Amino acid sequence: MSDALRITASSVDPGLLALPWSTPLADWPSHHIVFLPKGLSRHLVRFANLSGRVVAIKETTEEMARREYDMLGNLSRLDAPCVERVAVIAGRTDADGTPLPAALVTAHLKFSLPYRALFTQILRPDTATRLVDALAVLLVRLHNVGFFWGDVSLSNTLFRRDAGAFAAYLVDAETGELHETGLTDGQRAHDLDVARTNIAGEIMDLEAGGRLEGGVDAVAIADGIMSSYHSLWAALTDTETFGSDEAWRLTERVQKLNSIGFDIGEMSITTTPDGTRVSIQPKVVDAGHHQRRLLRLTGLDVEENQARRLLNDLDEFRARISRLGADEEMAAHEWLTRVFEPVVLAIPFDLRAKLEPAEVFHQVLEHRWYMSQTRGRSVPLAEVLTSYIDDVLRHRRDEATLMGPSTETMSLPVVTSAVPVVDEDDDIDWRDLV
């Protein structure tokens, strides 16, 4: 007698019982499957509908599925950027009682994209650099909470647009290890070396397929993760020594970390026996400085660079209405209702799947600057919105539904809207103008 189906889930979803677990994943009927862009993988992974949302289902061993499920739960509790775990399905058998592989189910991150889906034809150097920088930030955040990845690559990462940059999320924790006491320098160096090697290989693969802009050095781009990572890690962890009469250096260090999106939860401060020198070193550092401030003021939960951009606009709004001395929360509420929400609500319903609201607002600000520079005058927001919607947003692909991690093969073409696809280069052109 075969074992009964065993479902371990992070939340109760009756829709899990309706999926055809007695059928090999490769043979699932099309009405359960969502066809999204895919790359190569060690395991079979397919995308499916589950109670109105898209999930990724990976066939693997029960041991590996449970290990990765637990790891994703631990990373989520540490507020590390990763996909959300949904369930482990074990005890699967087909109609004849033959055992089938266990399955790990994870939720897709809305508006996230695999790196190959971030450009439609040619990868430009600027886009490649921004992807590598985003991966460096992700690696620093993971290392900061004691996570050793073991298989760092662009392919094992999902990316979300973040006000001209990208935010990166871990999508495959199969090889990861969590160390409560932190990582050694050797473990961090190993992850960095793996990242550099994998990134170089991925970009060279694009080059072989004619999808890399001519003259781009794949190795140089891959090397970029080393400098980005070391610079950020040093800002978070280096010990700084200064004279006791330079106490302002402590405030400067905090402000520097805030500027790159981190808060200091705890700092070590020591003095020399004669009291002439002071040494400081951050001990507990948390990402999301601007995200937390924006969330506190407005309730908006967005990416870090988006939060920084929205806060800048909020501060400019507060200055324009001459209420610098007014209560910050009141000014934020006024900005939210008079500036942000009208822009978001002006987007036609059929276009709202193209970009998330915070990214739309950022791009509207970019478009306003571009139009004002071109015309030599300030352009009314209503005119900017009309131009942005008709000339830009309407011609983008729907990124809310283009979400699959690039760890599978491309099986079918993805049709997300009836409008032509606009290349990533359009965003880069705007960014270069700011």
Write down the pLDDT at residue 3.
62
Structural domains in the chain plus CATH codes: 6-107 (3.30.200), 113-237 (1.10.510.10), 240-287 (no CATH)
Q: Which of 199-208, 287-296, 297-306, 393-402 has the lowest mean pLDDT?
A: 393-402
Residue 405 pLDDT exceeds 80: no
* Residue 197: pLDDT over 90: yes
Please report where in the chains the tokens 């601007």 appear, as a residue: 290
Residue 89 has which token pair? Answer: 């399905």
Q: How many CB atoms lie within 10 A of CB 146?
A: 17
Residue 41: pLDDT band (50, 70, 90) is: low
Identity (one letter) of the amino acid at 277?
A: R
Helices within 336-417 (DSSP H only): 341-345, 357-375, 381-391
Nearest to 254 by CA among 286, 229, 224: 286
Are 112 and 168 in contact, with CB atoms under 8 Å apart? Answer: no
DSSP 189: H
Query: Do residues 129 and 212 touch, judged by C-beta distance below 8 A?
Result: no
Contact 264, 285 (CB under 8 A): yes
More confident residue, 142 or 433: 142
Looking at every residue in the chain, the average pLDDT score rounds to: 85
Token readout for 300 is 């908006």
